[in-house]
Amino acid sequence: MRQGMDRTKEGARAQIAVMLGAVVVAALSGCGSGTSVTRVDSGVVTDLSGRWNDTDSRMVAETMVKEAVGSPWLENFTRAKSRQPVVVVGTILNRSHEHINIQTFVTDLSRELTNSQKVTFVAGKGEREEIREERQEQAVHAREDTQKAPGKEIGADYMMKGNISTILDEADGVKAIFYQVDLEMIDLSNNVKSWFGQKKIKKVIERKRTLF
């Protein structure tokens, strides 16, 4: 009888040992499968999926604005008017097969136009509405000598518009994506297209097959 009880206790101890071992293994496995995050400089190219990314947006904006402000339309306007042209960014359409954050691209274009110091860049439609509301608020609540009166905005001479489109080709696990960005500088006084720019990007994405 006593031997049977001893065997029962030994079996219980063995089961407890197995359970504790399983818990330790699970804990160690959990530690080994955690997410790893590495901070990199924002200027580093991180093309992970092959889709349109921040690098594409920045590089296209830099290249196309440099081309735009180096074209004859700007020199012709400056010579005729004896001042810099006033430019606003209008609608940039996403005609690609991807979800592209157009606002990021518009911001990149705005930054490059402003920093070029060759044009006077003014706020777009959405921004103007917010600023006009602020002026209305000032007219009611701000001290009179600090109020900003309406009717003093600078009208744009040119509007930059454009679109981003893509062509997709895929076969046997290899995919090619062709991006085309078209931008136009339109004279707001007569709708004349004073400048037309185009930038193309081609990416080839190949999925590596893993053998098990």
Which of 109, 121, 132, 128 is CA-nearest to residue 57?
109
The Cα 72–Cα 68 span in angstroms is 9
Confidence of residue 182 (pLDDT cuts 50, 70, 90): very high
* pLDDT higher at 1 or 41: 41
Residue 24 burial (CB count, 10 A): 10
Per-residue model confidence as pLDDT tens digits over 3-12? 555 555 565 5
